[in-house]
Chain A
Amino acid sequence: MISTQSFKKTKPLIFLIIITPIFFWAYQFSNGQLGVNPIEKLMDNLGEMALRLIVLTLFISSLSEFRKFRFLIEARRMIGLFAFFYVTCHFLTYIVLDHFLDFNFIFKDILKRPFITFGFISFILLIPLVITSPKKMLKKVGYKIWKRIHYLIYPAAILASLHFYMLVRANKIEPAIYIFLILLLLLYRLFYRVILPRRAQ
């Protein structure tokens, strides 16, 4: 069994692995290696990375219920923060590179296009999670409320995967897999956290 202590030592390595893609893409972007439509490609890469990390945090939450995988919880906050980091980069690419700070257009776009609305709401929902992520904040707001705030990850994840699903033109299999995984993990949590305890009572 991997102990929490020994897992903690691998955190810098996880940090490096997760941060590497952005340097890689930034390098490719500035060297014209992101294909013929680099802005779109960069935006897609960043968005999908963020979605993957969000799903990863959900996996960790469910897996860490088992004693064997308890140690994983150590990495959850870092991965969650990185998810927000990639979402922010994704959103900034949309604002700065794709629409060149045309806020008049962007504002309308967010209101008018459901898929952009969903993506935007998802981004907003992640903000309270980021704010309450330091241990200090956990103590400040209390575990119960903190827990509630952090359940926001589920609507955020569902909206993010719908955002992806709606933007794809055909072959919706890949985004559908994300939706399926997220719903599965949500149901699992509901079952173990809500339904089972109630039955026990």
Chain B
Amino acid sequence: MKILPSEITSYNKYLNRRRFIKSSVATGLILGTSTSLYANHLSNENIYDNQLDENDKLNSFEDITTYNNFYEFGMGKTDPSENSGNFKSKPWSISLEGLINNPQVLDLEKLLRQVTIEDRVYRLRCVEAWSMVIPWQGFPLSELIKIADPLSSAKFIQFVTVFRPEEMPGQTRRLLPWPYVEGLRMDEAMHPLTILSTGLYGHDLLNQSGAPLRLVVPWKYGFKSIKSIASIRFVDKQPEATWSMLAPSEYGFYSNVNNFVDHPRWSQGTERRIGEFKRRETLMFNGYEEEVSHLYKGMDLKKYY
């Protein structure tokens, strides 16, 4: 693994309030080459320590890559790791569409040459009331938005994953309306915490984690962080999102982690951190309240759950 000099200093200044990035060192990924990275991610685990919050401990690479919700590969938690072997994440391109000045189909390798990959250790809180701590590698979504150069009429972004039933066995059944779609409001998408991830533990994303490129929005329930993104559409109205389309009373468009708004069928007040015995209290905005609550000022979060 090659360590590139990072541009974190300037980024750090920009985010000097945020403790999560205190002294982050970017893990350089060898990008633009087609060889996969099989870094010895376990031996240098401690490089993420400075980004870890006090009460958090990283989940293991194995936990993170064998306990997944990715219905494209099946409904069970181990299905994605077991059934995603035939998925082709290379080559990959992302189509930028809609209300933008630069609509284009972007080759992923070309895109990755234009951005700086950073380490981001985030908590991931699933709507099913379990959570993990994951050391992601990725770049702010805002960088891609800059490349797209949205018109002022673009208020929301919709993300679409692929429909490849021959590579994604779950898509041969109508478990969900395929392809999976998700969306963010523009200010949420531009927020510095929102990243597009290409790897975790210094390792290219495995198929079950959403290879080769996925969204990570740490203050929202996990299903908002759409995997294997194929196109990004800039739109003027709140776009459809798979789960809130399917069960609007259970999954809202915003789906911010909110311990005061329960899922109709279960409590969101506590969560099981994978690897821990006792449940933890769930934190407002998954513990990123300081960073993101201003986005929702004046909004009734019980109504816009």
Contacts and interface: CB of A to CB of B under 8 A. Distances in A.
A37 B278 CA distance: 12
Given A35-B66, A109-B267, A99 B71 contact: no
Contacts of A35: 66-67, 77-78
Main secondary structure on chain B at its contact with chain A? Answer: loop
B295 interface: no
Centre residue among A36, A40, A99, A171 by max chain B CB count within 10 A? A36
Contacts of B4: none
A147 B63 CA distance: 50
Contacts of B275: 36
A9 interface: no
A37 B267 CA distance: 18
B274 A170 contact: no
B78 A167 contact: no
Given A37-B130, A109-B267, A170 B175 contact: yes
B77 A170 contact: no
A109 B279 CA distance: 15
A171 B77 contact: no
A36 B75 contact: no
B272 interface: yes
A171 B267 contact: no
Contact of B246 (A39, A40, A115, A170): A170
Centre residue among A40, A100, A170 by max chain B CB count within 10 A? A170
A112 B269 CA distance: 13
Contacts, number: 49
A113 interface: yes
A100 B278 contact: yes
Contacts of B63: 36
B128 interface: yes
A36 B62 CA distance: 9
Interface in A14-60: 35-37, 39-40
Contact of B67 (A36, A100, A105): A36
B176 interface: yes
B265 interface: yes
A39 B272 contact: yes
Contacts of A98: 272, 279
Interface in B153-196: 173, 175-176
A169 interface: yes
Contacts of B279: 98-100
A166 interface: yes
Contacts of A97: 277
B74 to A, nearest CB: 10
Contacts of B78: 35
17 contacts: A35-B77, A36-B67, A36-B77, A36-B274, A37-B77, A37-B272, A39-B272, A98-B272, A100-B277, A105-B267, A112-B262, A113-B266, A113-B267, A114-B265, A169-B128, A170-B75, A171-B173
Interface of A: 35-37, 39-40, 97-100, 105, 109, 112-115, 166-167, 169-171
